[in-house]
Amino acid sequence: MRKQTVYFKNTSKKLASFFLVTAVSFTSLQPAFASRKTQAQDAKQQAENNLNSVNNNINSIANKQQELQKEINALDAELVDLLVNMDILADELADKELEIKQANKDLEIAKAEEKEQYEQMKKRIRSMYERGDGNLLEALLGATSMSDFLNRVNYYNAVYDYDREQLDIYKETKQQVIDLKSQLLTEQSEMEEMQDNYRLQETELKNMVATKESTMDDFDSQLSQAKVLAAAYKETIQEQNRIIRDEEEKERLAREAAERAAREAAEAAEQAAREAAERAAREAQARAQAEQQQAAQQQNTQQPSSGGSSSGSSSPSTDSSSGAGSTPAVSPSGVTGSDVINYATQFIGNPYVWGGTSLTNGTDCSGFVMSVYAHFGYSLPRVSSAQASCGRGVSYSEAQPGDIICYSGHVALYMGGGRIVGAQSSRTGITTQNATYRTIIAVRRIIN
């Protein structure tokens, strides 16, 4: 028994040593695997962080491009509208020049008629004086009756009054033509100034479009660079994923090899233990038989004991944890058109500034209309083309104070009596004007 016990102890020690060597061999491989895998995971995490940052930047650039494109489209639309207005204004200028030429012709005709009437009147007066007062007296005294006498007196007075009246008419006609020509020249000057303003606006709009298109090109360049970076980070992530998969495969193969070696070692140790147990049993049986012969008197025969060997195998367990995410779960009352006009005319004489909306420091035509109505709580669009669609349309014959008179590229407020008030040009500022000095394209009523 003692030898059997000693043998089992020696066998157990050998088996334990073998398992220890196997475990150490597998464990010694883990740092190498873990080191490279950890580096790959760290590199992957860094690349994913960089990729998220670049994607956020790409989204930001894309959003900026969309907003910038909207601004470019709006400027393009405004530029097209401006060019259309410039063409219309050019046609109106051509018509105005024809009106001025016609006024010059009418003025020459009026001057000639006035001169002719004046010459005829001088001839009649000269003839009467050359014939002498006797003829006049003779004609009067030659009357056959008082009624005839009065008729003759009335005739001479009528001739004189007629000449004077015709002369006054021609003078008045000539003055009207002169006034019309002066008005036409003033309107032509204002329209030419408006044309200059349009050209300035065209240059500024084109410059703004060019600047924004340049910015768009910069965004395109930034977006291209960001996409290159994103592609590089994606490639890095893919490469690190490949390294991680390779290392995990190596870990799996090493783990399986260690487990296989452990199983084989356990089987070998178990086999050796069985063989040792069998030898020990045979030796014990032989000793027992010898002792039986020597101690024949003893009734109790010691039976040989057999010991079993136990073998254990361990397999690495894999702990896994998973987390579940959760899904989180119109107008003001009491205002009249006259109120609007009374307020608007307070600012006559203040400056015209293109793009401005200040009734005191400077405004353009649409800014003037918008700001005046804003004082009474009405919210109108900023540009004249949009204001031409506000409220409801009425004919010019139905126009009332406060209505918006719309021209091509220009708006003003109707005062009544065929007059308008508005921000006309940088030369005249906020002023009044004849409503029909240009072609009216619409009349919009804001206050019902």
| pLDDT for the residue 65 | 83
Length of the chain: 448
Q: Which of 23, 375, 373, 71 lies closest to 205, judged by CA?
A: 71
> Phi and psi dihedrals of 285, rounded to 5?
-65, -40
Which part of the chain has CATH 1.10.287?
34-246
Domain with CATH 3.90.1720.10 in the chain: 337-445
pLDDT of residue 216: 87
- Closest by CA to 156, choosing from 173, 175, 135, is 135
Question: Would you write out the chain's pLDDT as a tens digit for each of its 448 residues?
Answer: 444 444 445 555 555 555 554 555 555 555 666 788 898 889 989 989 999 998 999 999 999 988 889 989 998 888 888 888 888 988 988 897 898 888 888 878 877 877 787 787 777 666 665 554 445 556 656 666 667 667 766 776 777 787 778 778 877 888 888 998 888 899 888 888 888 988 998 898 899 999 988 998 998 999 899 999 999 999 999 999 999 999 889 889 999 999 988 888 887 887 787 778 778 877 877 777 777 677 776 655 544 444 443 333 333 333 333 333 332 334 566 899 999 999 999 999 999 999 999 999 999 999 999 999 999 999 999 999 999 999 999 999 999 999 999 999 999 999 999 999 999 999 999 999 999 999 999 999 999 8
Kind of pairing between the strands at 392-394 and 362-363? unpaired
Position 177 scores a pLDDT of 86
**290 phi/psi in degrees, rounded to 5:** -65, -40
CATH classification for the domain delimited by 337-445, as one of 3.20.20.140, 3.40.50.9100, 3.40.640.10, 3.90.1720.10: 3.90.1720.10
Q: What is the architecture of the domain spanning 34-246?
A: Orthogonal Bundle (1.10)
- Tokens 């101690």 correspond to 295
Measured CA to CA, the distance from residue 256 to residue 276 in angstroms comes to 30
Q: 22, 265 in Cβ contact below 8 A?
A: yes
Distance separating alpha carbons of residues 57 and 40, to the nearest angstrom: 25
Query: In this predicted structure, what is the pLDDT of residue 334?
Result: 87
Q: Which residues have C-beta within 8 Å of that of residue 209, sequence separation ≥ 6?
A: 72, 75, 76, 79
Q: What is the pLDDT of residue 127?
A: 65
User: To 5 degrees, how large is the angle CA 345–CA 92–CA 419?
Assistant: 20
pTM of the model: 0.50
